[in-house]
Structure 1
Amino acid sequence: MTTPAAEPDAHPFTRLPTTTLADLLGRARVMDTGIRPLWGPGPRLAGPAFTVRCPPGDNLMLHAAIHRAPAGSVVVVESGDLEYALAGGNVCAVAQRRGVAGFVLDGLIRDLAETREAGFPVYARGVVPIPGAKAEVRPLNEPVHCGGVRVEPGDVVVADEEGVVVVPSADTEAVRTAAEARLREEATQTLDAWETSHRTRIDALLAKGGFHD
């Protein structure tokens, strides 16, 4: 399996595919398939979560977050609806200019063409042209639920065309070490060797279940 070369200042998890991380962490740490890249192909997104909760029809706290999220962070939003846009082109542009790595939103955006042209990574449920209101104040950087996964501030969020995985902050070093070891092993294995090992394992499972050719 080929892994991308990360930029010198990129987050270390940028090198790690979500497929490898999902194998290690299991289904509970993988967001549902509705959270997807809104443009692509794009770079793998990885960074510590800066979490936001927006109530139905309101996007004030995401607009507040772009001025407060640290450079390199992934802004993760729990949204209360799928009727109104949480962000548009200018919000994404300001976030990008301030060094935010990208957005992972359990909701919608607008101005997708601007965001795609700027190359700002957005993973969300889709697009809609109507914006939400800006009235409801909520705390920032508290635990949220996004795509069916509980996300704590500082958890490492990794997203690519395969999906979105959330690595608990307490486990980042152990998961990173295990993922890198698995990728090194895979890189040295030929397809012939994989096929032989795979056939042996599958045949053993079939025999255990009583299957006969």
Structure 2
Amino acid sequence: MDSLQLQRTYLDLTTPHVADACMRLGIAVRCAPAGIRPLWSESHIVGRACPARHYGSVDVFLEAIDRAAPGDILVVDNGGRLDEACVGDLVTLETALAGLRGIVIWGLHRDSSELRTIRLPIFSLGTLPTGPQRLETQEAAALTSARCGEHEVTSDDFVLADDDGVIFMPLSQAQGVSELAAAIRDTERSQAARMQLGTNFRKQARFDEFLATRNADESITFRQHLRSIGGAIEE
């Protein structure tokens, strides 16, 4: 699935929809650390991962951007450091001018005011005025993989990020995940609409039936019951 297809397919899917779909399909749910948040609310980005490991200089980002395609998302590995900001306004502007969709940073950013003006979606652990005061040797894999928390991300992955967080998935699974995520989304929207009209969720979920079934067989879970009636609220 190319960048344009990703944009069209995941435009109305959230990270919770996708996480639930991954769980049902048996695909590992790879989320960025919970502390990685968008610079402003209502951010929603999707695109192929463009990894870059930071060693104290912005040249690695420029090289990654040079290799990237429009629609990609720059995934910056700064080891989760909280003693320096590694992305500022110039790197962000360069990323935007190259047509990338956003930046996910396992680390900190700075120049927040300028970044809000540039308006390229930024997800990071937070902000700090101080930039890098080190310069380390760049590793051979600096542009082929990046870590984000406990997970490794490569260009074989794509990124979906919104107000609930950041999730990484294999590009090869994009279609199957999107189809199930859309079904989960539609089910939940239908359930919510019925609740707004007065039908509570216990009635929709036939909760009395579940309790009776569980009393007869303690191994039956609510999740199994929901699946059996086509409901969706947890996975």
TM-score (norm 1): 0.81
Contact 1:11 1:46 in 2 (8 A): no
Q: Does 1:104 align with 2:111?
A: no
| 1:79 alignment counterpart | 78
The SS at the match of 1:22 is helix
Amino acid at match of 1:24: A
Q: Which residue of 1 aligns with 2:159?
A: 157
Query: Residues 143-171 of structure 1: CA distance to partner in whole angstroms, max 9, x if unpaired?
Result: 32203222121311101111111111221
- What is the distance in 2 between the residues matched to 1:178 and 1:33? 24
User: What is the Cα deviation at residue 35 of structure 1?
Assistant: 1.1
Take 1:108 and 1:205, find their aligned partners in 2: how far apart are those partners? Answer: 50
Deviation at 1:98, TM superposition (A): 1.2
Per-residue displacement from partner, 1:166-202 (whole Å, max 9, x unpaired)?
A: 1112211110111112223333332226332446177
How has the CA–CA distance of structure 1 residues 125 and 185 changed in structure 2, closer, same or farther, with 3 Å as cutoff?
A: same
Structure 1: gaps (5+ residues)? 1-6
Q: How does 1:62-141 map to 2 (within 5 A)?
A: 62-80=61-79, 81-132=81-132, 133=134, 136-138=137-139, 139-141=141-143
Give the letter for the 1:10 counterpart: Q
Structure 2: runs of 5 or more not aligned:
220-235
Q: Which residue of 2 aligns with 1:30?
A: 31
In the alignment, structure 1 residue 13 sits paired with structure 2 residue 10: yes
Q: Distance in 2 between matches of 1:205 and 1:158?
A: 38
Instruction: Pick the aligned partner of 1:178 from 177, 180, 205.
Output: 180
Tell me the SS of whatever aligns to 2:11: helix
Question: Which of the two has greater helix per residue?
Answer: 2
Structure 1 consecutive aligned stretches of length 4 or more whose deviation exceeds 3 Å: 7-11, 57-60, 133-136, 138-141, 201-209
Amino acid at match of 1:33: A
Instruction: Give the Å deviation of 1:112.
Output: 0.9
CA contact (8 A) 1:58 1:136 kept: no
- Could you tell me how far apart the structure 2 residues matched to 1:202 and 1:69 are? 51
Which has the greater radius of gyration? Answer: 2
Q: TM-score, normalised by structure 2?
A: 0.74
Q: Distance in 1 between matches of 2:22 and 2:16?
A: 10
Distance 1:96 1:42, change over 3 A: farther
Alpha carbons 2:21, 2:184 under 8 Å: kept: no
Q: Give the corresponding residue for 2:201.
A: 194
- How large is the Cα RMSD of the aligned pairs? 2.7
Q: 1:3 maps to which residue?
A: none
My pick for the range that moved more, 163-172 or 26-35, is 26-35
- The change in CA–CA distance for 1:126 and 1:183 in structure 2 (over 3 A counts) is same
CA distance in 2, matches of 1:16, 1:146: 22
* CA contact 2:37–2:125 (8 Å) conserved in 1: yes
Q: State the distance in 2 between where 1:199 and 1:145 align.
A: 43
Counting aligned pairs with the same residue, the percent is 27
Q: Aligned partners of 1:8, 1:22: CA distance in 2, in Å?
A: 19
**Distance (Å, rounded) in 2 between the aligned partners of 1:154 and 1:94:** 23
Partner-residue secondary structure (3-state), 1:76: strand
Q: Deviations over 1:42-93 (max 9, x none)?
A: 33111010111224x4544124323332110011122133212211111101
Structure 2: how far apart are the matches of 1:61 and 1:9?
26
Count of residues paired in the alignment: 201
Q: Which moved more, 1:82-91 or 1:10-19?
A: 10-19
Rounded to whole Å, the distance in 2 between the matches of 1:96 and 1:78 is 19
